[in-house]
Structure 1
Amino acid sequence: MTDKKTATEPNDLGRYFIERANAGDVDGLVALYEPDAVLAFPPGNLARGHAEIRAVYEQFVAAAPVLSPGSQHPALVTGDLALTATTLTDGDVIVEIARRQPDGTWLWAADQPTLAT
């Protein structure tokens, strides 16, 4: 089911996350991360690498959430790193660090999806 679109801009990752999560596409969600990425979710937990991130998203999509896009902020890019952030409708803020890959696409290296305002 994995959507083959790749992120050509850092903020593409957030849009693809919403699409893939709503579709229940665990493989597609994991594909948004570098192989050794870190995901701080659920709050208080830390998942490292694709295998642990996959386990988090298997549980996440099993709950069948329906996600809505929040207000995505312009990415702050320096060299091959980008800070991406989205403010959700409930006021929570999602913050990620993306890295430009050798082929020019972007993947998340670190994801903090529940940073309260």
Structure 2
Amino acid sequence: MSPNEKALVPEDLTRLFVERSNAGDAAGVAALYEEDAVMAYPPGGQTVGRAAIQALWESVLAHAPRFEQEPPLPTLISGNIALTSTPPRDGAGARAQVARRQADGSWLRVLDQPEFVTPTDGS
């Protein structure tokens, strides 16, 4: 895993997210997002911008959660925009991301609808 590896196809974003999260690399996770990206988190709210997304991931990764690679659902691509998603383990809902192709041909997330599991949710 290279800390500077770019997503060459939209599906790379999820793989790189898992690798960087498990390495505790909040800056590397944030680098997968455009500067003005929007994440639908915390529940009922939004985190806007790469700097705020990095701060959020610093907080989340401080608890050393482990993420597993998941097979992506089919990606939809229209020009320079892609919709990626993965099924959650419990079968309810889905995680979805909108990515945009960059000038260098790589992909970055623009919108992220994650599924977060809190360790203290009692389930």
Give the CA deviation at 1:63.
1.2
Q: State the Cα deviation string for residues 4-50 of structure 1 (Å, max 9, x = none).
A: 11000000000000000001001110000000000112222201111
What residue is the counterpart of 1:101 in the other structure?
Answer: 102
What residue is the counterpart of 1:78 in the other structure?
Answer: 78
What residue is the counterpart of 1:6 in the other structure?
Answer: 6
Task: Tell me the amino acid that sits aligned with residue 62 of structure 1.
Answer: A
Contact kept, 8 Å, 1:76 with 1:83, in 2: the verdict is yes
Q: How far apart, CA to CA, are the structure 2 residues paired with 1:5 and 1:70? A: 19
SS in 1 for 2:7: coil
As a proportion of its length, which structure holds more strand?
1
| Structure (1 or 2) with the larger CA radius of gyration | 2
Percent of pairs with identical residues: 46
Paired residues in the alignment total 114
* TM-score computed with the length of structure 1 as normaliser: 0.91
Q: How far apart, CA to CA, are the structure 2 residues paired with 1:52 and 1:27? A: 11
Question: Structure 2 matches for 1:1-117, cutoff 5 A?
Answer: 3-91=3-91, 92-114=93-115
**Aligned-residue CA RMSD (Å):** 1.5
Q: How far apart, CA to CA, are the structure 2 residues paired with 1:74 and 1:4? A: 26
**Structure 1 portions without partners, runs of 5+:** none
Contact kept, 8 Å, 2:100 with 2:107, in 1: the verdict is yes
Q: How far apart, CA to CA, are the structure 1 residues paired with 2:26 and 2:45? A: 19
Contact kept, 8 Å, 1:38 with 1:48, in 2: the verdict is yes
Q: How far apart, CA to CA, are the structure 2 residues paired with 1:4 and 1:114? A: 25
Q: Which runs of 4+ in 1 moved over 3 A?
A: none
Q: How far apart, CA to CA, are the structure 2 residues paired with 1:30 and 1:104? A: 18
Contact kept, 8 Å, 1:24 with 1:61, in 2: the verdict is yes
Task: Tell me the amino acid that sits aligned with residue 64 of structure 1.
Answer: A
* TM-score computed with the length of structure 2 as normaliser: 0.87
